[in-house]
């Protein structure tokens, strides 16, 4: 953690030695990203026309990956509680109200419905206040906060209500939706709570993206807030089907258990569909694609699991001792071999088969980092730094870029509509 001195760029320079493209960003919308992780949210927003001027991420390896993939962005790895927001704004040479979007995902573990303890005393929960501090300083045209679905029910909804009230107090009309990633072309069962705020006077209608795909789903969390349902469902019945796991990764090179191979590998096939074509754009080969070495007992277990199967297909003598007494209706994703025609389990911070369906559908191994990244919808040009363990963590913690891009396109339209309305009002006056 760098707690003193000048703010650092991704090249190690001080902030007042910006690359020219940060001082004079390209056409499009400007943004900054707080609690940025490896950059999944920024990656999707970039596809929607947003240019990230500054990102803050305290985990050094995540920040390194962000910098590697966003060379025109200032990446600050200091604890955000030690960062002076006014200094950042002044160094970026932005007047209050000039920034288009302030986006980010404050740490969500304390809000997760899967966390063992969800306490208001968890210091991670209070990092929302740091995000709001930046909102107050920059007064951006729009605010985007993403989190887990459990945020809606945390403290009986009081935390979410407080965030919306705080945004209102800062001059924003704000609303919340729970979005399902497969509805936007992401091939995994992943839900995110999304809060969008626009400056007072801006209409929030259509600011959340409409689902573009049909997909099987199961809601196992609180889906109502303020007496209304906030889960976005498809409005049309004739939408395309979801993107399957096979759709997502079947063109990637075949690997044996534990096989590393060359750092850059040729694709197994030409692109087989639009998803592969889009994610392969500009890529000269496959990186971050190495097979972890499964233990002998896990290979024995895997031999009994068909595509779409799970731990219940494993003979009892081969089961972990703690699972031998489990009901067969429990833990249905553990030791799962993913259904190639279905959706993947939510990609977590490690593709450990004990916690989910992370066995490949027809290769006797677990997903590689690149396969996990594809399932998260990262483009193949996006490179992850660090050890394989660190790379899995970066992928699992990220916002799926295709989901972020869908949100970004809706936000971009809202900002442009508001800009035109403002100009028309000014001319009328």
pLDDT digits (tens, 9 = 90+) for 291-328: 999 999 999 999 999 999 999 999 999 998 888 888 88
Please report, for the chain, the start and end positions of each structural domain, with discontinuous segments joined by +.
15-236+402-428
CATH topology for 15-236+402-428? Rossmann fold (3.40.50)
SS (H, E, C) 308-323: CCCHHHCCHHHCCHHH
Cα–Cα nearest to 343, from 233, 216, 187, 215: 187
pLDDT tens, residue order, the chain (429 aa): 333 334 444 434 333 323 333 334 445 899 999 999 999 999 999 999 999 999 999 999 999 999 999 999 999 999 999 999 999 999 999 999 999 999 999 764 443 344 444 454 555 557 888 998 999 999 999 999 999 998 898 888 888 888 899 999 999 999 999 999 999 999 999 999 999 999 976 678 789 999 999 999 989 899 999 999 999 999 888 899 999 999 999 999 999 999 999 999 999 999 999 999 999 999 999 999 999 999 999 999 999 999 999 999 999 999 988 888 888 877 788 899 999 999 999 999 989 888 889 999 999 999 999 999 999 999 999 999 999 999 999 999 999 999 999 999 999 999 988 764 444 434 443
Q: Which residues contact 213 (CB under 8 A, 6 or more apart)?
A: 182, 183, 184, 185, 234, 239, 240, 241, 242, 243
| Region at 229 (left for phi over 0; alpha for psi -120 to 50; beta for the rest) | beta
- Look up residue 377 and give its two tokens: 């919808």
List own/partner pairs for 224-232 with CB under 8 A and 24 or more apart: 224/152, 225/152, 225/157, 225/160, 225/176, 226/157, 226/161, 230/152, 230/176, 230/177, 230/178, 231/177, 231/178, 231/180, 232/177, 232/178, 232/179, 232/180, 232/183, 232/208
Distance CA 247, CA 212 (A): 16
Q: Give, in degrees to the nearest 5, the angle at Cα 410 between 404 and 411.
A: 85
Distance CA 280, CA 250 (A): 13
- The pTM (predicted TM-score) of the whole model is 0.89
State how far the alpha carbon of 387 is from the alpha carbons of 54, 71, 72, 369, in Å. 25, 21, 24, 11
Q: Enumerate helices (H) and strands (E) in the chain, giving the number of each.
A: 12, 9
Q: Helices 40-47 and 401-428 sit at what angle, rounded to 10 degrees? A: 50
User: For 154, phi and psi rounded to 5 degrees?
Assistant: -60, 130
Which sign, positive or negative, has the C-alpha torsion 237, 339, 290, 334? positive
DSSP 189-214: --EEEEEEEEETT---TT-SPPP-S-
Q: Which residues contact 417 (CB under 8 A, 6 or more apart)?
A: 203
CB 284 within 8 A of CB 303: no
Q: Annotated active-site positions, please?
A: 108
CB 299 within 8 A of CB 290: no
Cα–Cα nearest to 101, from 207, 230, 211: 207
Residue in the structure block whose two tokens are 């989910």: 356
Cα–Cα nearest to 34, from 132, 177, 139: 132
């Amino acid at each position: 953690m760098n707690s003193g001195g000048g703010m650092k760029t991704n090249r190690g320079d001080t902030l007042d030695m910006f690359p020219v493209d940060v001082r004079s960003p390209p056409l499009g919308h400007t943004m900054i990203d707080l609690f940025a992780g490896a950059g999944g949210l920024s990656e999707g927003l970039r596809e929607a026309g947003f240019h990230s001027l500054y990102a803050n991420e305290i985990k050094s390896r995540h920040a390194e990956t962000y910098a590697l993939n966003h060379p025109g962005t200032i990446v600050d790895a200091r604890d955000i509680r030690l960062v002076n927001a006014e200094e950042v704004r002044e160094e970026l040479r932005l007047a209050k109200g000039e920034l288009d979007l302030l986006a980010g995902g404050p740490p969500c573990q304390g809000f997760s419905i899967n966390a063992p303890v969800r306490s208001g005393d968890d210091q991670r929960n209070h990092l929302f206040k740091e995000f709001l501090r930046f909102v107050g300083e920059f007064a951006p045209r729009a605010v985007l906060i993403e989190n887990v679905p459990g945020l809606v029910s945390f403290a009986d909804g009081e935390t979410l209500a407080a965030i919306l009230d705080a945004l209102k107090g800062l001059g924003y009309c704000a609303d919340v939706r729970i979005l399902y990633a497969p509805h936007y072309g992401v091939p995994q069962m992943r839900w995110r709570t999304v809060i969008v705020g626009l400056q007072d006077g801006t209409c929030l209608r259509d600011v959340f993206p409409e689902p573009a795909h049909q997909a099987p789903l199961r809601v196992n969390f609180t889906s109502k807030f303020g007496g209304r349902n906030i889960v976005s469902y498809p409005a049309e019945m004739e939408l395309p089907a979801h993107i399957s796991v096979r759709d997502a990764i079947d063109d990637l090179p075949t690997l044996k258990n534990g096989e590393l191979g060359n750092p850059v590998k040729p694709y197994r096939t030409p692109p087989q569909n639009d998803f592969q074509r889009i994610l392969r754009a500009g890529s000269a080969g496959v990186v971050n694609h190495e097979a972890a070495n499964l233990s002998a007992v896990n290979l024995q277990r895997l031999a009994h699991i068909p595509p779409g199967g799970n731990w219940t297909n494993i003979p009892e003598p081969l089961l972990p001792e703690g699972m031998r007494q489990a009901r067969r209706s429990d833990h249905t994703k553990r030791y799962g071999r993913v259904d190639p025609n279905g959706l993947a389990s939510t990609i977590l911070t490690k593709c450990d088969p004990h916690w989910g369906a992370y066995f490949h559908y027809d290769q006797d191994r677990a997903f590689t980092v690149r396969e996990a990244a594809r399932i998260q919808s990262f483009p193949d040009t996006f490179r992850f730094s660090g050890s394989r363990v660190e790379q899995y963590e970066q992928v699992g913690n990220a916002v799926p870029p295709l989901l972020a891009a869908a949100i970004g396109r809706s936000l971009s339209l809202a900002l442009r509509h508001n800009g035109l309305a403002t100009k028309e009002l000014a001319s009328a006056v």
